[in-house]
Structure 1
Amino acid sequence: MSCAFLFLFDGYLVSNSSSSSVDKCDVFEGSWIREESYPLYNASQCPFAEIGFHCFANGRKDGGNAKWRWKPKNCDIPRFDVRTVLIKLRGKRVIFVGDSLSRTQWESLICLLMTGVEDKKSVYEVNGNKITKQIRFLSVRFSSFDLKIDFYRSVFLVQPATVPIRSPKMVKSTLRVDKLDDISQEWFDSDILIFNSGHWWTQGCYFQVGKSLKLGMPITAGFRTALKTWASWVETMVNTNRTSVFFRTFESSHWSGRNRNSCKVTQHPWSSSWGKDQSTISDIIIKIVRKMKVSVTILHVTPMISFRSNGHVGTRSNNPSVPDCSHWCLPGVPDMWNEILLNLLPMDQVSLK
Structure 2
Amino acid sequence: MMKCYCKIWVFLSFNGLVAVGSVISFLLAIAWAFSYVSPSSRPVTQNYDIHIPKFNGSMGICNVFEGSWISDNSYPLYDASDCPFAEHGFNCFANGRKDRGYTKWRWMPRDCEIPRFNARTVLSKLRGKRVVFVGDSLSRTQWESFICLLMTGVEDKRSVYEINGKKITKQIRFLGVRFSSFNIRVDFYRSVFLVMPGPVPKRSPKRVKTTLRLDKLDDISQEWIDSDVLIFNSGHWWTRTKLFDMGWYFQVGDLLKLGMPVTTAFREALNTWSSWVERMSNSNRTKIFFRTFESSHWSGQSRNSCKVTRRPLSKTHGRERSLISDIIIKVVKKMAVPVTVLHVTPMGAFRSDGHVGTWSDNPSIADCSHWCLPGVPDMWNEILISYLLTNEGVLLQ
Q: TM-score, normalised by structure 2?
A: 0.84
Amino acid at match of 1:27: V
**In the alignment, which residue of structure 2 is the partner of 1:336?**
379
Sequence identity, in percent? Answer: 71
2:275 is aligned with 1:238: no
Aligned pair partner of 2:354 in 306, 311, 315: 311
Task: Tell me whether 1:294 sits opposite 2:331 in the alignment.
Answer: no
Distance 1:264 1:341 in 2: 29
- The answer for the alignment partner of 1:6 in structure 2 is none
Pair 1:14-2:55 in alignment: yes
Give, as a single letter, the amino acid of the residue that structure 1 aligns with 2:88.
I
Cα distance in structure 1, aligned partners of 2:331 and 2:386? 23
> Deviations along 1:249-287, whole A, 9 cap, x unmatched?
001210122344421000000000000000000000000
Superposed displacement of residue 171, structure 1: 1.0
Residue in structure 1 matched with residue 297 of structure 2 by the alignment:
254
Alignment partner of 1:134 is 2:171: yes
Q: How much has 1:334 moved relative to structure 2?
A: 0.3
Kept after mapping to 2: 8 A contact 1:84/1:350: no
Q: Do the aligned residues in 2 keep the contact of 1:313 with 1:328 (CA within 8 Å)?
A: yes
Retained in 2: the 8 A contact 1:97–1:194?
yes
Q: Which amino acid aligns with 1:153?
A: R
After the TM superposition, which of the residue ranges 340-349 and 30-39 deviates more from structure 2?
Answer: 340-349
1:109 match: 146
Aligned to 1:179: 216
1:327 counterpart SS class:
strand
**Runs (4+) of structure 1 moved beyond 3 Å?**
258-261
Offset, 1:233: 0.2
Shift of 1:172: 1.1
Letter aligned with residue 34 of structure 1: S
CA distance in 1, matches of 2:294, 2:396: 26
How far does residue 117 in structure 1 lie from its aligned partner after superposition?
0.2
Secondary structure, in 3 states, of the residue corresponding to 2:301? coil
Q: Which residue of 1 aligns with 2:12?
A: none
User: Does the Cα contact within 8 Å between 2:308 and 2:354 map onto a contact in 1?
Assistant: yes
1:274 equivalent in alignment to 2:317: yes
Tell me how far apart the structure 2 counterparts of residues 333 and 241 of structure 1 sit (CA, whole Å).
31
- Check the 8 A contact 2:95/2:361 in 1, yes or no: yes
Deviations for 1:15-55, whole angstroms, at most 9, x for unmatched residues?
2xxxx542211100100000100000011100000000000
Distance in 1, Cα, partners of 2:53 & 2:150: 24
Distance in 2 between the 1:350 and 1:329 partners?
30
Verify: 1:89 aligned to 2:135, yes or no: no
TM-score by length of 1: 0.94
Aligned length: 339
- Does residue 1:219 correspond to 2:262, yes or no? yes
Aligned twin of 2:74: 37
Alignment-derived partner of residue 3 in structure 1:
none
- Judged with a 3 Å threshold, the aligned counterparts in structure 2 of structure 1 residues 316 and 38 are, in CA distance, closer, same or farther, namely same
What does the per-residue CA deviation read over 1:318-339, in whole Å, with 9 as the maximum and x for residues that have no partner? 1110100000000000000000
Alpha-carbon contact 1:342-1:350 (below 8 Å) kept: no
Instruction: Provide the rounded CA distance (Å) in 2 between the counterparts of 1:10 and 1:66.
Output: 29
More helix by share: 2
Q: SS where residue 14 of structure 1 aligns?
A: strand
The verdict on how the C-alpha distance between 1:350 and 1:68 changes in structure 2, with shifts beyond 3 A counting, is: farther
- CA distance in 2 between counterparts of 1:58 and 1:92 reads 34
Name the CA distance, whole Å, in 1 between partners of 2:133 and 2:93.
25
Q: Per the alignment, in what secondary structure is the counterpart of residue 174 of structure 1?
A: strand
Match of 1:347 in 2: 393
User: What residue number does 1:206 align with?
Assistant: 249
Aligned to 1:166: 203
Cα distance in 2 for residues equivalent to 1:343 and 1:99: 24
Residues in 1 aligned to 2:89 and 2:273: alpha-carbon distance in whole angstroms: 31
The one-letter amino acid of 1:284's match is I
Q: Indicate the residue corresponding to 1:49 in structure 2.
A: 86
Question: Deviation string for 1:178-199 (max 9, x for gaps)?
Answer: 0000000000100000000000
Mapped partners of 2:58, 2:356: distance in 1: 39
Distance 1:127 1:233 in 2: 28
**What secondary structure does 2:189 align onto?**
strand
Q: In the aligned structure 2, how far is the partner of 1:288 from the partner of 1:247?
A: 11
The residue that corresponds to 1:153 in the other structure is 190
Residue 344 of structure 1: CA displacement? 1.4
Instruction: Give me the whole-angstrom Cα distance separating, in 2, the residues matched to 1:347 and 1:257.
Output: 46
| Segment of structure 1 superposing worse, 250-259 or 101-110 | 250-259
The alignment yields a C-alpha RMSD, in angstroms, of 1.2
The one-letter code of the counterpart of 1:232 is S
**Alpha-carbon contact 1:12-1:24 (below 8 Å) kept:** no
The offset of 1:289, in angstroms, is 0.2
- The Cα shift of 1:12 comes to 3.3
Amino acid at match of 1:68: W
Counterpart code for 2:375: G
Q: Whole-Å Cα distance in 1 between the matches of residues 396 and 228 of structure 2? A: 12
Write the distance in 2 (CA, Å) between the matches of 1:166 and 1:152: 33
Q: How much has 1:350 moved relative to structure 2?
A: 4.6
State the Cα deviation string for residues 92-141 of structure 1 (Å, max 9, x = none). 00000000000000000000000000000000000000111110000000
